[in-house]
Structure 1
């Protein structure tokens, strides 16, 4: 900022007096940084004790949390759907074809239940049910006998691979016939980018998209047995003289903030961590699909972020 100079008339009686008159006539303007000028109103607003100031500050704080996005989600592909309104609320790579791991078991259960087989029939775990693709561990021993209902229960709740394999072997026509039925059911549901090659999800060739999986979740939600088994917190089975307690593979089931109707989790290295949910948030049904989430707890974290986002949106 320039300094303004006002010159007094040259009426001095001597050179010294004239010099003093000119020097006394100069006014110096003060220059203040722009940053300080902007900072002052904020400080006064925070400290102001009058009612209008408190209300203004309160409105500012209340509006800030609404500026939330889902950019921090760690899943590579996501779909959030309002099925009642047939409206996509959020999507990221929703048409990407990806391995789906044990989400496969939802279709396995849907087809087995739809076949009308006797749920009380005893099925035996055999050596053929041992995983020789990923060499994953299992708590279900070879030789254990469970009802078809029991196999469905631990396959859906705790993602027991040997149980899903046994269900396939005891399907009319065996596992190949079950896989054909699973692919036929996918076509019937309009899952055009989905393919199954086996009933457990251990193969990375079992693929789908978030859009297709949302259709599978809606179909599974209509089956009471799938709703019940997939959301049980724990279940104990007898293996000879010993008992084995299974817990739900989805940590959100134990969370009091969630109201989940159907769920399934999955993991193989090619698929990352996956999860599908049919839940209610603030009284509204919502389908959530998360594929290829990186990190042990990332899929649950993503779901919690989406739930918080939906809650804020309903205020």
Structure 2
């Protein structure tokens, strides 16, 4: 049966979260000093106050890095703008992983899904295959969709972003920067349906005819354990290292975080968000 046992998913989730919380809260950061700047390891960082529209902390926000699966934010945005999540999609063999690659979501040729549910697979469980199927269906070919991604990015003022594919797999020239990724993330957050999907902890994926496929768990390990954590998109490839776009809210204060080229996004995110909400991070000037 293709639907994974939910109890197994839950126990795996608890173990993963326990490990994450140990890394984030219990284990000292390697090489950490007393300042936030020395604790945060990502090559590019933008911690952004959504209320004042000012940075709380930033590092090399215009440097270009591979975005990994944070690419899927632009994919979801363009799919929404072209479809409003209406319609159905049939999985084709060309949508599926190459031999030797392990998919995060087990799609099969001939499976039919609503567009909305494939976007859930895309954003909640970061399905590369869903990205290809969505791109092919809404634009005719994946290549045509990528051209539209780049045109839309340019319209948004993302001058240092260039996409080569819709899923974030590492390819030469597939790059963005933290300031551009914040623009894309905020455009996604402005759409209620996408914002809700990015905040969803789990989802039972079914085909159009009701066949169970997989119980999806959100790849954002801080969703739930970290106070105020909201919509987010994670990413990782060996070339990109860890990438992250997240929104956290406590009370009336909303803070967005963009990380690129991080050795450990969980450590970096907790250090930065703790500083944003408590001021405890080593005395960095909030206006930096």
| Category of TM-score, reference length = shorter chain | 0.7 to 0.9
Match of 2:107 among 141, 154, 160: 141
Aligned to 1:113: 80
C-alpha offsets along residues 100-139 of structure 1, whole Å, 9 cap, x if unaligned? Answer: 0110100001011111x26342211121012339834343
Alignment match of 2:158 (pick from 180, 191, 195): 191
Determine if contact 1:79/1:289 at 8 Å carries over to the other structure. Answer: yes
2:266 corresponds, among 286, 300, 303, to 300
Q: 1:268 to 1:134 in 2, by over 3 A?
A: farther
1:104 is matched with which residue? 71
Q: For residues 1-315 of structure 1, what are the structure 2 equivalents within 5 Å?
A: 68-115=35-82, 117=83, 119-132=85-98, 135-143=101-109, 144-204=111-171, 205-238=173-206, 241-255=211-225, 257-260=227-230, 262-294=231-263, 298-313=264-279
Q: Does the 8 Å CA contact 1:282/1:311 hold for their aligned counterparts?
A: no
Query: Per-residue CA shift, 1:30-72, capped at 9, x if unaligned?
Result: xxxxxxxxxxxxxxxxxxxxxxxxxxxxxxxxxxxxx752321
Contact 1:153 1:229 in 2 (8 A): yes
Aligned partners of 2:170 and 2:239 also within 8 Å: no
TM-score if structure 1 supplies the norm length? 0.72
Conserved 8 A contact 1:94-1:211: yes
RMSD: 2.1
Q: Any unmatched runs of 5+ in structure 1?
A: 1-66
Post-superposition shift, 1:245?
0.3
SS in 1 for 2:183: helix
Deviations 1:140-162 (A, max 9, x none): 22222111111001101110111
Asked if the contact 1:161–1:200 (Cα under 8 Å) also holds between the matched residues in 2, the reply is yes
Structure with greater Cα Rg: 1
Taking the aligned partners of 1:241 and 1:287, their CA distance within structure 2 comes to 37
Question: CA separation in 2, counterparts of 1:252 and 1:138?
Answer: 19
Equivalents in 1 of 2:97, 2:131: separation in Å?
Answer: 11
Cα distance in 2 for residues equivalent to 1:215 and 1:126: 32
The secondary structure found in structure 1 opposite 2:108 is: coil
Change (3 A) 1:220 1:118: closer
Structure 1 residues 306 and 281: alpha-carbon distance in aligned structure 2, compared to 1, 3 A threshold: farther
Higher relative contact order (CA 8 A, sep 6+): 2
Of 138-147 and 70-79, deviating more is 138-147
Distance 1:173 1:238, change over 3 A: closer
User: 2 CA distance for matches of 1:73 and 1:267?
Assistant: 17
**CA shift for structure 1 position 228:** 0.9
How many angstroms does 1:256 deviate by?
5.0
CA contact (8 A) 2:103 2:127 kept: no
Q: Report the TM-score when normalising by structure 2.
A: 0.78
Q: How many residues align?
A: 243
